[in-house]
Structure 1
Amino acid sequence: MLLKKIAGPLLGLIFAGCILLMLAHPASALAAALRGLAIWWDVLFPSLFPFFVISEIMLGLGIVHLFGALLDPLMRPLFNIPGSGGFVAAMGYVSGYPVGAKLTAKLREQGLVNRVEGERLVAFTTSSDPIFLLGAVSVGFFHDASLGLVLALAHYGGGLIVGLLMSFHGRKEHTLSAKNQTPPSGQNSGRLRMALSSMAEARRRDGRSFGELLMGAVQSSLLLIIVVGGLVVFFTVLMELLARAGIMSALFGLTDRILSLAGFPPELSAALVSGLFEVTLGARSAGEATASIPLHFKAAAAAFILSWGGLSVHAQVASILNGTGLRYLPFMLARLVHAFLSAGLLLLLWKPVISSGLSEHWNSLPAASGLASPASAFVSSLSLLGLLLGGALLLSLLIMLSGIAARTWRRH
């Protein structure tokens, strides 16, 4: 109660101080705003907007319901979420933050997940997209495409571990919704028929023509991408103002001491503090850190920053979750766990992956070669999405067939 009473006045003082700093340094604030706007227009808009539109259309067509019925035998035992979470995981891992949160909010609105399931889902489907991880971070910031494999294993492997850990979240208060209960094992033979029927029913309930569906998808996606851009600009300006006020220097000094006590190079403090606020600035700072720092420590810092996501991404996710009943605190704790897991996994996998020579094969990937345009990035992301969805469907079908075979063997 006391915290709520002082939170309002404290925030008011902080933003009043920001206004005074903007008045004292107008040129720096404007330059920072233009940098944030450039990041949004050059990177985020072309990479995220198509996925926002496509995911909205797929929801309207009932494809998510199809995947939900087929993937339920896989997602329930592993992550304790309904099968529709498999679609969200695939889209979230391919298209990056905050697509996983946006799709989770949509499932919540349609009643396909309850509150606890939604919190589990958004916690482990918020990740960097492969194009940014391979193209921007590995090649653009570190100038070493061979880092792509170990970064991907640490980042996405850490995300899956977070998903497994989050399956225990809220078990005491968790109750299955009627829509999402797994059918009895005897119904597995008709799972494909049930999935197609569920898709047709969802399409019938939506009722919009394809033209109306496309228009609605574009309108809602535009609103969301504008919110994302505004938050990126805000945090870019905020970081500049904090730097002008000397607060960033104080944070650098504090982080220096913590890193020194933990046995890590203190020179990485600038990257970690920048990554606390904005993932792109933090990853770039890690890649451009002094050459005297061992490469595996710089890569671990980048993995930490990518998995934390930055307060800019946290604000985007919080704005998406607002009004859905999903709590922000489980998401924040999951990001923190993911960050430490990814950094630890990278240090653990560094020697086996780098010495094996497997990472050299990643140089031939389009993202690792440096994508020349957002269009090529989008095409590569679609191909990765197809592989993930196809693999998930194949795995769920194998589970279904193994269940049928097991029951047939028991009867005989």
Structure 2
Amino acid sequence: MLQRTYLKTLFFAVISFFLVISLIIYPEDAFSSALRGLKIWWDVVFPALLPFFITSEILMGFGVVHFMGVLLEPFMRPIFNVPGTGAFVLAMGLASGYPIGAKLTARLREQKLISRSEGERLVSFTNTADPLFMFGAVAVGFFQDVSLGIAIALAHYISSLMVGLIMRFHEPGGEVTKYRKNSNLNLFMRALQSMHRARISDGRTIGHLIGDAVTSSMNTMLLIGGFMIIFSVIINILSLVHLTDLIAAAITLIFIPLGIPSELSNAVIAGLFEITLGSQVASETSSSVSMMYKIAIVGAITAWSGFSVHAQVASILSKTDIRYKPYFFARVLHAALAFVVTLTIWKPIQPYLARTSISTWIQDIPNQGIFGIWSRFAYLGSNIFLIIVGLITLSLGIHTWKNLNKKRRV
């Protein structure tokens, strides 16, 4: 055991020394790759996530999340084995993208609105890519075909929900979070009562709450930016010293028996570290490679999310007792499922991809960049609103159906 600990220490020391030496040998390449990571963070991630980080913190302080928790308990508990508050994380994660699902899960755990095992289940399927990335950056930016975003998004979200259904069995004997119930009140009034209690318990003034929300959100955004910059540098260095070529050769040996084109191995290597770069490499693969396999690999890369996002999530979760290992397992599972789902739905959805009405509908995507922040906020905000309304409708339907069955039995 002692020798294993020493070897682990030595391994990390060697890796750190290798990175430092590489930065000294390739200073210009390191600078340019760091600048690239900074540009992506500033142009895309910062304006997309900051408003939702701030508003989610404010909604928690005002008790809105507690309101949704009671209202959506009939839907989230039987299906995903998590409290109703998880629906808020689900809606924000589906619409806003990485790593807001992990951030909100950690905040719910800090406020003891979920248990540790519930948090591990929740973060496994709510930390997803956002539609702007799949439609705007990948489909339009890399493949110049907006309709391909439908295949990528469908496979991504279907496989994500499948992961949620599988992870509901994670730690079946784990602690269950229960809400205080008042049998004299209907579901809506119980939710309203829970929101009121949460707001009173929080006790912060509006000014104090907004200040804390901005401070916390900016700290998280700086953390995300730092990880994006350092991993952009690491990817470039590994390419310069040809380590990626060795890993690509190993992946090719796995691809050949599975019938996957070996030309896509470089895309997988890049995607292991950063999803944007991996998707770009896949789009630039030889035209002889079937588009179906290109999109399937992009789907797997997007579901895996890259070591950059993994590092962000691990850092965010480290402030709680939620473990990283279940999240890692869920990402591997999500990547495999996304690949298989893409191959399964590819032919059936081809007639729909060709329809001009669908292409016209999804062309209305806000431009990337800091100057498009309002249009991005409106686009993502409307998606979150529609998801929440849909989830509430399903939850109320399930609750009503259960009550009708009880009355019939009586």
Q: TM-score, normalised by structure 2?
A: 0.95
2:74–2:396 contact (8 Å) kept in structure 1: no
Give the 5 Å matches for 1:262-411: 262-357=258-353, 360-366=356-362, 371=367, 373-411=372-410
- Distance in 2, matches of 1:181 and 1:113, equals 10
- Distance in 2, matches of 1:335 and 1:123, equals 7
Q: CA deviation at 1:272?
A: 0.7
2:118–2:176 contact (8 Å) kept in structure 1: no
Q: Bigger shift: 3-12 or 289-298?
A: 3-12
For residue 192 of structure 2, the aligned residue among 191, 196, 201 is 196
Q: CA deviation at 1:181?
A: 5.1
Alpha-carbon displacement from aligned partner over 1:341-399 (angstroms, at most 9, x marks no partner): 00100100000011345765432235565636343222111111010001111111112
Q: Gaps (5+ residues) in structure 1?
A: none
1:149–1:362 contact (8 Å) kept in structure 2: no
1:188–1:404 contact (8 Å) kept in structure 2: no
- Distance in 1, matches of 2:101 and 2:75, equals 18
Q: Which runs of 4+ in 1 moved over 6 A?
A: none
Give the 5 Å matches for 1:30-109: 30-109=31-110
1:97 is aligned with what amino acid?
Y
Q: Which residue of 2 aligns with 1:259?
A: 255
| Corresponding residue SS for 1:341 | helix
Alpha-carbon displacement from aligned partner over 1:152-202 (angstroms, at most 9, x marks no partner): 110000000000000000113x1224xx2585xx94962111110000000
| Corresponding residue SS for 1:365 | helix
Asked if 1:228 is matched to 2:224, the reply is: yes
2:152 is aligned with what amino acid?
L
| Corresponding residue SS for 1:158 | helix
Go from structure 1 to structure 2 and tell me whether the alpha carbon gap of 1:324 and 1:358 turns closer, same or farther (over 3 Å shift): farther
1:138–1:368 contact (8 Å) kept in structure 2: no
Go from structure 1 to structure 2 and tell me whether the alpha carbon gap of 1:190 and 1:79 turns closer, same or farther (over 3 Å shift): same
- Distance in 1, matches of 2:362 and 2:211, equals 32
1:400 is aligned with what amino acid?
H
- Distance in 1, matches of 2:198 and 2:180, equals 18
Q: Bigger shift: 157-166 or 131-140?
A: 131-140
Q: Gaps (5+ residues) in structure 2?
A: none
Alpha-carbon displacement from aligned partner over 1:290-342 (angstroms, at most 9, x marks no partner): 21111000000100000000000000000000120111110001000000100
Between the aligned residues of both structures, percent identity stands at: 42
- Distance in 2, matches of 1:202 and 1:267, equals 54
Q: CA deviation at 1:3?
A: 3.6
Instruction: Tell me the matched-pair count.
Output: 406
1:353–1:359 contact (8 Å) kept in structure 2: no
Q: Which residue of 2 aligns with 1:164?
A: 165
Asked if 1:239 is matched to 2:235, the reply is: yes
| Corresponding residue SS for 1:59 | helix
Go from structure 1 to structure 2 and tell me whether the alpha carbon gap of 1:289 and 1:389 turns closer, same or farther (over 3 Å shift): same
- Distance in 1, matches of 2:79 and 2:4, equals 38
1:305–1:339 contact (8 Å) kept in structure 2: yes
1:148 is aligned with what amino acid?
G
1:97–1:127 contact (8 Å) kept in structure 2: yes
Q: CA deviation at 1:43?
A: 0.7
- Distance in 2, matches of 1:120 and 1:258, equals 30
1:407 is aligned with what amino acid?
K
Q: Which residue of 1 aligns with 2:27?
A: 26
- Distance in 1, matches of 2:185 and 2:207, equals 36
Alpha-carbon displacement from aligned partner over 1:54-103 (angstroms, at most 9, x marks no partner): 11011111010001001111111111111100111111111001000000
- Distance in 1, matches of 2:67 and 2:18, equals 51
- Distance in 1, matches of 2:96 and 2:42, equals 16
1:349 is aligned with what amino acid?
I
Asked if 1:212 is matched to 2:208, the reply is: yes
2:398 is aligned with what amino acid?
I
| Corresponding residue SS for 2:186 | helix
2:37–2:228 contact (8 Å) kept in structure 1: yes
- Distance in 2, matches of 1:154 and 1:399, equals 26
- Distance in 2, matches of 1:132 and 1:367, equals 13
